[in-house]
Amino acid sequence: MPEYHCVYVLRSLKDFRFYVGYASNLQNRMKKHSSGKVESTKARRPLELIYWEGCSNRTDATNREQYLKTAWGKRYIKNRLKNYLARCEERYRYQMTKKRFTLMARVSTDNRQAIKQVLEELVAKRSITSTDEGFLVKATMYGDSARELNRSLLSALRRVERKTRLRSEWKSGGTTERFFDYVPKGSRKA
């Protein structure tokens, strides 16, 4: 199998702009981007790989990279990925109309496998850590209020197992709200 030279497009989840690059080993290059070892994307992390092309010739790949960096090339990318970018735009607009909350929660359960599935549907997998009694969840969620988010999270968990317990702390805008299951346990300014 011939060696491929990749031209790739990253999208910053911080400023939502593109980065176009070239690599002879895309996996290694992505690791460098993710760990902040690439100066031009270091401050724009986290990044997601949204498009890549392979060329068997290095010159063809670097020429394609240069093209994708032009106005015509950016237009090509936006047209090629219009469905994906439309979904991203909807998600971004939703996030801009809602408050951002940072969640720190302990989930106690007897049915770990089923509860883990529900948690993975609601928050990113990397936000969930197993503990002796259940799970520790550290995630970012968007909503109108901490109470509403806490209620929807606990309701989703209890649809799977009624005995599930949720001890949560929601932070937003310098305010911290704590809950034990559905019951508020206090609020304080930072």
Q: Show pLDDT as tens, one digit a residue, over the chain (190 residues).
A: 578 999 999 998 877 889 999 999 999 999 999 999 999 999 988 899 999 999 999 999 999 999 999 999 999 999 999 988 888 777 776 666 678 889 999 999 989 999 999 998 888 777 899 999 899 999 988 888 889 899 999 999 999 999 899 999 999 988 999 999 877 776 666 5
> Which CATH number among 3.40.1440, 1.10.10, 3.30.70, 3.40.1350 corresponds to the domain 5-93?
3.40.1440
Position 123 scores a pLDDT of: 84
Cis status of the peptide bond prior to 46, with omega within 30 of 0: yes
Neighbours of 180 (CB within 10 A): 13
Q: The pTM is what?
A: 0.52
- CA-to-CA distance for 33 and 42, rounded, in angstroms? 7
C-beta of residue 110 within 8 angstroms of C-beta of residue 163: yes
Question: In the chain, where are the structural domains located?
Answer: 5-93, 98-189
CATH architecture of 98-189: 2-Layer Sandwich (3.30)
Contacts 24+ apart (CB under 8 A), 78-86: 80/51, 81/50, 81/51, 84/50
**Across the strands, what pairs with 51?**
9
